[in-house]
Amino acid sequence: MEYVYAALMLHKLKKEITEENVTSIVKASGTEVNEAKVKSLVASLADVNIEDAIKAAPVAVAAAPAAAAEGGEGKKAEKKDEAATGKSEEAAMEGLSSLFG
């Protein structure tokens, strides 16, 4: 995961995602670097639009506290939301799987 986080950090900072940059970030975190994983990640991300992958990722975490505060009505709304987003989550997961080849 630390390699993916490093790539996301580089993307956020608008830096190029290279083996050298990913390695630098992972080393700075105090983690031992596995060069094979770095090479694999950089190669996998070469043809991926990270911004599109982020937009396609399911974001349902923020809805959970709001549903708990609403009580019974929140549970009904949550079930409807899950049914409505089921297909979009599958599509998002397919997009994320392209990150890893």
32 in the same domain as 13: yes
**Owning domain of residue 75:** 48-101
72 in the same domain as 39: no
92 and 59 Cβ atoms separated by less than 8 Å:
no
For the stretch 37-89, pLDDT in tens is 999 999 999 888 988 888 888 875 555 555 555 555 555 555 555 555 555 66
pTM of the model: 0.56
Structural domains in the chain (count)? 2
Residue 25 Cα to chain centre, angstroms? 17
Instruction: Give 34 or 74, the one with higher predicted confidence.
Output: 34
The SS3 of residue 91 is helix
